[in-house]
Amino acid sequence: METRLLVSSLIMIDIKKRASKAIKIACTMILIATASAPSIAGERQIIRFYKINKDDITQALRFTAKKARTPGCHNFIRKTRLHRVVQFQYKTCHVYSKKNCDSESIMSFYQDKESAPTTDLSEGFGWYPVGDHKRGEKAKSWFCK
């Protein structure tokens, strides 16, 4: 009886060691795979637009999602009040108050109240349009490259 217990306990120890080794190998493989895979944010260009609704709540504009990933000039479906713009992975973006990215209607933006206004929206910052309206300024198109 004692021999049986000893053998079964040795078998259990061996199984635990093998399982532990298999788990370590699996975890290592997962870490290597995820470390070498590019992140979603790292491979995708996108520009995001935000508005403030009538209840003073910031909302992302959803109708631009597919166009936001494609470089070039794009028109908004309708004139939209922009409260904030954020872009990732593009070299630069511009926003216009007229359709078809009319160069005479380029809008100025700032990062914070102390920064100088600019028309070039660089990556990773929250850009706020220059203007007096508390819910943002009206825009009709944008261009990213």
pTM above the 0.75 mark? Answer: no
Confidence label for 81 from pLDDT (cuts 50, 70 and 90): very high
SS3 per-residue string spanning 111-135? CCCCCCCECCECCCCCEEECCCCCC
Confidence label for 39 from pLDDT (cuts 50, 70 and 90): very low
Residues 21, 72 share a domain: no
Which CATH number covers residue 81? 2.60.20
Query: Considering its fold, how many domains does the chain have in total?
Result: 2
The H or E element that residue 68 is part of is none
Pairwise CA distance, residues 123 & 4, whole Å: 68
Residues 59, 30 share a domain: no
Q: What's the whole-number average pLDDT of the chain?
A: 80
Domain residue limits at 31: 1-37
Pairwise CA distance, residues 76 & 100, whole Å: 10
Place of tokens 């600019």: 118
Pairwise CA distance, residues 13 & 19, whole Å: 10
Q: Over the stretch 108-124, which tens digit does the pLDDT of each residue have? A: 999 987 789 999 999 97
User: For the chain, percent helix, then strand, then coil, each to nearest 5?
Assistant: 35, 30, 35
